[in-house]
Amino acid sequence: MKIRQYLANYWGKIKNNLFYQNIAVVAGGNAAAKVIGILAAPIITRIYTPEDYGIFSVLLSVTGIAGSIATLRYAVTIPLPKDEKLADNLLRLSFLITLSLSLLWVVGIITLGDYLAVRFSAEKITPFLWILPVVFLGQGLYQALSNWAVREKKFRLITRTKITQGISSATVKIGLGVVGVKPLGLLVGNIVQEFAGIGSFLLKLLRNKPDFFKYFSWAEIKYAARRYKDFPLIQSWSQLLLNTSVNLPVIIIGAYYGAAVVGIFGLAHNMINIPMNLLGKSVSQVYFGEISKFGKNNPEKIYRLSISVIKKMFWIASVPMALLIAFGPWIFKVFFGTEWLEAGVYARYLALIILTRFISSPIMHCLNVLEKQGIQLFLNLLRIVLVVLIFVFAHKMSWDPKRTIIAYSILISLFYIVVIRTILYILKANW
């Protein structure tokens, strides 16, 4: 009865409140895009080999790290200013930064690409390094334009682009794979995903502002850059560390164990992360909105809500994680094909780390409300150090991939538990 009443209240809020409607529209688009990816995965895994997926996973991780600073975080400032001209110049500044950094990517690949690929035992990605600056360019343009769309409250347009990205990417990956373009089909699908939707944003921008690209003032762009200089100087580093800690294991596993192993790891990690991330982000948004109302002067309220959220998220995630531990190999074999049974074994090992990350992700917002960004930066840096130490130690000890992934899951899970206890301690200490 309580669940039915809660759903009725939630639906009433959506019907009567434009803010909740916008959240539902954007969240629905993200969910639809994820569902498209999940539905396409069993077809894609029957077309491409683990080695193909490994090359794709390594390059995807590199762009995942680099993409966090594609606009040096200026894109997130576009919705902030009340002055329309300042917002336009932030958009122009984001474009300039993305184009400039993309050109630097090209120069870096031409001069150092082959050397770095050999240095990190990733020679098989060498023919595909040209993908990196192209994807990076798409990431930066999409970030800038989607934040402009947020400013203009074009939430349905954002949703359409998300769905377009999911459909376009899946179609290209499957289509090119069927005709034998492997592993390039996966990589081209990623390019299409990044660029899909940019055209819709640009058309809307030019309809609203026909002279946008005709007007240009270096003085005004420099002012915009100075006005929000803290974003590239501070926030970009925190975001870079966060994305690095998430994507670094794929790159290191690829360097130490080869493309086939990292392909299996990549599929396991991505598939179990998709539903957990989707639910985790939704909870995080609601939780952050609630504790923001409390403010940093009400740590006791935040503490009690945090304890409640931790307990609920544990019970929500524990059942699917227990099923994954018990039946992971069988599930992956049935859904993705016999060749991917080992991915189910890896997913079983990763269940603990996914569980603890899922529980801790909303609680991290406490540090923003308490204005403890320094601690947040330290925790992100510590996580990277731990990841590197784990894999370097495992390599020195000549551990096989399974033992390494078990050690990685246990130690990083302990890290997330320490993070939760640390945040709760800080909340108590500030009563």
Q: For the segment 109-133, what is each residue's pLDDT rounded down to a tens digit?
A: 999 988 888 877 678 899 999 999 9
Q: From CA 82, how far away is CA 128, in angstroms rounded?
A: 43
26 and 41, same domain (yes or no): yes
Tokens 């544990």 belong to 314
pLDDT of residue 289: 62
The 3-state secondary structure of 99-158, one letter per residue:
HHHHHHHHHHHHHHHHHHHHHCCCHHHHHHCCHHHHHHHHHHHHHHHHHHHHHCCCHHHH
Q: At what angle do helices 259-294 and 341-363 cross, to 10 degrees?
A: 20
Residue 168 included in any domain? yes
Residue 11 included in any domain? no
Count other C-beta atoms under 10 Å from residue 61's C-beta.
Answer: 24
Count other C-beta atoms under 10 Å from residue 353's C-beta.
Answer: 22
Cis ω before 81 (30° cut-off from 0):
no
Pick the last residue of a domain from 228, 257, 278.
Answer: 228
Question: Would you give the end-to-end CA distance of the chain in angstroms?
Answer: 36
pLDDT of residue 3: 44
Q: Residue 94 has which token pair? A: 């984001």
200 and 251, same domain (yes or no): no
207 and 273, same domain (yes or no): no
What amino acid is encoded at 394 in this protein?
A
Angle (nearest 5°) at CA 209 between 207 and 211? 115
Q: Which domain holds residue 127?
A: 19-228
CA 418 from chain centre, in angstroms, equals 23
Q: Residue 399 has which token pair? A: 């551990």
Q: From CA 199, how far away is CA 140, in angstroms rounded?
A: 14
111 and 186, same domain (yes or no): yes
Residue 104 included in any domain? yes
In a 3-state reduction of DSSP, which class is residue 228? coil
220 and 238, same domain (yes or no): no
Cis ω before 329 (30° cut-off from 0):
no
Residue 8 included in any domain? no
223 and 256, same domain (yes or no): no
344 and 238, same domain (yes or no): yes
Residue 204 included in any domain? yes
pLDDT tens column, 240-285: 888 898 899 999 999 899 889 999 999 998 888 887 777 776 677 5
168 and 293, same domain (yes or no): no
Residue 10 included in any domain? no
- Our count of domains for the chain comes to 2
Whether the CB-CB separation of 42 and 249 falls below 8 Å is answered with no
pLDDT of residue 282: 64
pLDDT of residue 26: 64
- Mean per-residue pLDDT pooled into runs of 10, the chain (431 residues): 51 56 66 86 94 93 92 89 92 97 95 84 87 95 91 85 92 96 94 90 92 91 92 82 88 91 92 77 67 78 88 88 93 93 94 91 79 80 93 94 95 94 88 71
Pick the last residue of a domain from 188, 206, 228.
Answer: 228
Residue 196 included in any domain? yes
336 and 376, same domain (yes or no): yes
365 and 424, same domain (yes or no): yes
337 and 389, same domain (yes or no): yes
Please, which residues have CB within 8 angstroms of residue 321's CB and are 6 or more apart in sequence? 351, 352, 354, 355
Residue 153 φ/ψ, nearest 5 degrees? 60, 40
Pick the last residue of a domain from 193, 228, 263.
Answer: 228
**CA trace torsion 112, 116, 122, 125 (10° rounding):** -20
pLDDT of residue 180: 93
Q: Residue 223 has which token pair? A: 């002012």
**CA trace torsion 50, 55, 60, 61 (10° rounding):** 90
220 and 235, same domain (yes or no): no
Q: From CA 190, how far away is CA 169, in angstroms rounded?
A: 6
Residue 237 included in any domain? yes
Q: From CA 110, how far away is CA 59, in angstroms rounded?
A: 16
